[in-house]
Amino acid sequence: MKGTIFTILCCVCAVLPIAAQTAAPEGMALIPEGKFWMGRVYAYDLYSVDVVARDRYDDVPANNVYLDAFYIDKYEVTNADYAKFVEATHARAPWHWPGGKIPNGEERFPVYNVNWSEATDYCKWVGKRLPTEAEWDKANRGGVDRATFAWGDDKFDNSEPQMLAVGPDPKHNPKPVPAALNRNGAMAIGSFPPNGYGIYDMVGSVTEWTSDWFDPDYYRFMPKVNPKGPETGKYRSVRGSNWANSAAGTSGSEKLRNYFRNFADPEARSITLGFRCAK
Amino acid sequence: MRRLIIASLITFFITSEVQAKNSSPQTPPQTTPDKPRSALDPERLVEEWMKRLNALDSWHLTVDGKEEGIEDVVNSMMELYAPDVLAEVPPHDEDQSGSVMLRGSMLLRKWVEKIARTQVRLNYIRVAQTMKEFNGVQPLFTTPLPWGGVGISFQIIGAWSMREDRLNKRFMAPGAVFLQFGEDGKIQRLRLYLTEITRVVAG
């Protein structure tokens, strides 16, 4: 009997740390450690053979990058979340909030019109941080490596002015599922089905701040282990497409691609720019 | 009599005209004037580029671990390029995929430094060809550029070892080089393609 109890205790002790390691904080998803291909892995698409004129080669070459495990918010930070921060720290409310209060019925909408510093401060306040560009990139891919879109390489019907969302399980059902797009602004969080890591709205509602400076030439010589971006810069890296991006046409679909990069002035407050935090 | 004199005069006139035409120095057919030939010597330019590329490992670490001579070999290579050079080079290792576009000599310098720091036993050679009675010719394909300068391309075979393990990590690859030189002899465009990079296994 004594032996049985001892054995059970040993098992519990062995399992507890593993359980603690894998249990993600509430509202966050665990992104496992390991390598992934960051950047455009397709050397010869329309752009690189000059069929379509392009002045930016910021997404090549692709690099096989190793990241430690990390957590990232499943949803973008909402107006309701940000209102608590504003109240507690007397930070500046987004300018479009009437009287400093959340617009009616938009509690679960992603917060926007916050600049990079405000986003950084919010993440610190909740004990987190902004994700690096590499972390955002890996999280966005949902475990589908070296693919054009978060749901795989499948093309989509861009004849309709609609944004795209992935199926409920992109690993097993890689067909993109069109979702109606509110083209007048951001949508409530969770408007699009989750990707393979269980993360919502990486492609769709608002573009998101990352902690990195932006350098269009960064991928040429980037570190291959836990890259944290250039040491300095003028703009910050922002990732993900937003409600104002059309999915139609080559340039529209380009913004939905996993490797699409963009940048913004860190002081900018934009109706298309929000964020989520990592840990 | 009068008619005879007139006929003789006409004949004399025509004959002397024809003679005058035939005796005048021959002028070449009218063409657009030739552009001044470029003073650039493609053979010499390529030879210099290859020499300085292969010399990138010609530096050493001192006993106290200091890099000695690396600046010189890198500077020597960079002297060949224009400040606004545009280069497309192969990925640097197996953890990179796709061509690497480098704009400006600052970025290109980083690439050159990376080769110098990580590769040794560099041996890039021009591919030789034998045809008919011509033996071991290394063809250069050249063309004058409309904006001045010369475009040169040629086939190469590259071989290099990794500094970290020079005995066991040796690679080789066939490839091609496309260079555009300005009138000043500086490289304005470089495209270096290496295909089928193969690890060389010592026999």
Q: What does the mean pLDDT of chain A come to?
A: 81
Check whether A26 has a pLDDT greater than 90: yes
pLDDT tens column, A91-118:
999 999 999 999 999 999 999 999 999 9
User: How far is the alpha carbon of A134 from chain B, nearest alpha carbon, in Å?
Assistant: 15
Inter-residue contact A143 to A31 (CB < 8 Å)? no
Q: Do B102 and A224 touch (CB under 8 A)?
A: no
What is the reported pLDDT for A243?
78
| CB contact set of A149 (below 8 Å; sequence gap of 6+) | A156, A164, A166, A176, A203, A256, A257, A258
Residue, of A3 and A195, whose pLDDT is higher? A195
Nearest CA in chain A to B113: A221
Check whether A122 has a pLDDT greater than 90: yes
pLDDT tens column, B129-186:
999 999 999 999 999 999 999 999 999 999 999 998 888 889 999 999 999 999 999 9
A138 vs A143: CA distance, rounded Å: 8
User: How far is the alpha carbon of A220 from chain B, nearest alpha carbon, in Å?
Assistant: 6
Q: Do A48 and B111 touch (CB under 8 A)?
A: no
Nearest CA in chain B to A217: B102
Check whether A251 has a pLDDT greater than 80: no
Q: What is the CATH number of the domain that holds B190?
A: 3.10.450.50
Q: Mutation test of the interface with chain B: which of A221, A222, A226, A259, choosing the one with the most B Cβ atoms within 10 A? A: A221
Residue, of B7 and A169, whose pLDDT is higher? B7
Mean pLDDT over A255-262 rounds to 85
Exposed e or buried b per residue across A65-76, where buried means at least 16 C-beta atoms within 10 angstroms of its C-beta: bebeebbbbbbb
Residues of A in contact with B91 (CB under 8 A): 61
Q: What does the mean pLDDT of chain B come to?
A: 87
Structural domains in chain B (count): 1
Which among A43, A65, A220 is the nearest to B107, CB-wise? A220
Percent of chain B whose pLDDT exceeds 70: 80
Q: What is the CA radius of gyration of chain B?
A: 29
Domain for residue B36, yes or no?
Answer: no
Instruction: Name the burial class of residue B132, with classes exposed (0-12), middle (13-18) and buried (19+) by CB atoms within 10 angstroms of its CB.
Output: exposed
B178 vs A179: CA distance, rounded Å: 47
Angle between helices A79-89 and A116-125 (to 10 degrees): 80
User: How far is the alpha carbon of B92 from chain A, nearest alpha carbon, in Å?
Assistant: 9
CATH superfamily of A27-274: paralog of FGE (formylglycine-generating enzyme) (3.90.1580.10)
Nearest CA in chain B to A56: B101
pTM for the complete prediction? 0.78
Domain for residue B24, yes or no?
Answer: no
What is the reported pLDDT for B40?
92
User: How far is the alpha carbon of B193 from chain A, nearest alpha carbon, in Å?
Assistant: 13
What is the reported pLDDT for A145?
82
The domain in which residue B114 lies consists of: 42-200
Lowest mean pLDDT among A50-59, A81-90, B80-89, B103-112: A50-59
Check whether A136 has a pLDDT greater than 60: yes
Nearest CA in chain B to A40: B98
Mean pLDDT over A198-226 rounds to 93
| CB contact set of A277 (below 8 Å; sequence gap of 6+) | A72, A73, A77, A122, A123, A126, A128, A129, A130, A131
Domain for residue B181, yes or no?
Answer: yes
Q: Domain segments of chain A: what residues?
A: 27-274
User: How far is the alpha carbon of A41 from chain B, nearest alpha carbon, in Å?
Assistant: 6
Q: Do A61 and B102 touch (CB under 8 A)?
A: no
Check whether B59 has a pLDDT greater than 80: yes
Q: What interface predicted TM-score (ipTM) does this complex get? A: 0.71
B149 vs B96: CA distance, rounded Å: 33
What is the reported pLDDT for A76?
97
Lowest mean pLDDT among A179-183, B127-131, B190-194: A179-183
Q: Do B98 and A224 touch (CB under 8 A)?
A: no
